[in-house]
Chains A and B, each alone.
Chain A
């Protein structure tokens, strides 16, 4: 339990530095540190699948973010925050914190699955008969690709559509020079 408190404190410190620093690259490095600490937390919680995914996605995001920011002329952020925006943010964070405390009071002890307490829950069946019914020794693979394969298909569809949108917006034919306007060179004229 104490390891999680240490990780949590380190993550909060990293997040605060990431928000407060004025240098964009240091901010990204701090965000990456938060992600790596989260991956360690997943590992200690007994979820190596999630830890591996978190780790590799974190590395990929860091590379993309560093590559996106390191070349910009604007590498530091200056200027004050708006007063109204800050008040709204603090109010929203307080509301979320109060709601979170109330929700956590209703949770079972840390590390015990919620669904396993319900009698006849599907999660208990997956755990008890996963290997027998699918043959997959890794119970996570048997859940996401066999019992809940339909969910994974939806996830893959979301990924496919988002990649399609990103490539459509960023592709070569969609680009214009800054001085070019929208009305210029329409095919109908």
Chain B
């Protein structure tokens, strides 16, 4: 029964509702990340919401269809990009700012920009990096966990052989 779900996903009703909802959940996650310095939220919460959209797709459509949307290689690469973006912002503060301080907010913003999207210099970019990192790493772990569950179950031998050849 579980293998059936893994290969073909859930029923037509669930799939239709997921198609309608997943894009909005993803959009909400991106909003939480981008406006983290103005409204409650931030990189971590927004990243988890983004991951939830992909996990919803995985649960409804089955692993094979979800892999086509975001493969393990893509999520792993984006995970690293997010981490490096965050670290790069910290190092940029060290080398680009006049004071040469680690994590210095080197993008100057004036008082007129307060409460706008581009109002806080590197905080927005750091939020983006953390959101990308958290979301993609959770997608990666969920995908790997779903794979091992299939291998432990059902026709373990056949699935195992097939999995190994992939």
Contacts and interface: CB of A to CB of B under 8 A. Distances in A.
Interface of A: 48-49, 51-53, 56-57, 59-60, 63-64, 67-68, 71, 131, 134-138, 140-142, 144-146, 149-150, 152-153, 156, 159-160, 163, 166-167, 170-172, 175, 177-178
Interface string B38-49: 111111110011
B155 interface: no
Interface residues of B, number: 60
Contact of B120 (A57, A68, A135): A135
A163 B86 CA distance: 17
Interface in B14-72: 32, 36-45, 48-49, 51-52, 55, 59
Given A48-B40, A68-B145, A146-B123, 11 more contacts: A52-B40, A67-B59, A67-B149, A71-B149, A136-B120, A149-B90, A149-B126, A152-B130, A156-B130, A167-B140, A170-B144
A156 B83 contact: yes
Contacts of B144: 166-167, 170-171
B127 A53 contact: no
A68 B160 CA distance: 19
A170 B148 contact: yes
A150 B103 contact: yes
Contacts of A175: 148, 151, 160, 163-164
B105 A146 contact: yes
A49 B33 CA distance: 12
A171 B105 CA distance: 39
B37 A142 contact: yes
Contact of A177 (B38, B44, B76, B157): B157
Interface in B120-166: 120-123, 126-127, 130, 133-134, 137-138, 140-142, 144-149, 151, 153, 156-157, 160, 163-164, 166
A180 B126 CA distance: 46
A59 B164 contact: no
B145 A64 contact: yes
A89 B135 CA distance: 37
Nearest to A144: B42
B141 A153 contact: no
A137 B37 contact: yes
B141 to A, nearest CB: 5
Nearest to A178: B156
Contact of A64 (B32, B140, B142): B142
Given A150-B103, A171-B144, A141 B123 contact: yes
B123 A134 contact: yes
Contact of A145 (B48, B76, B123, B156): B123
Nearest to A150: B103
23 contacts: A52-B40, A56-B48, A59-B52, A63-B55, A63-B59, A131-B114, A134-B120, A134-B121, A135-B120, A137-B38, A138-B39, A138-B42, A141-B37, A146-B120, A149-B90, A153-B86, A153-B90, A156-B83, A156-B86, A156-B133, A163-B79, A163-B140, A177-B157
Contacts of A146: 103, 105, 120, 122-123
B136 to A, nearest CB: 9
Contacts of A51: 40
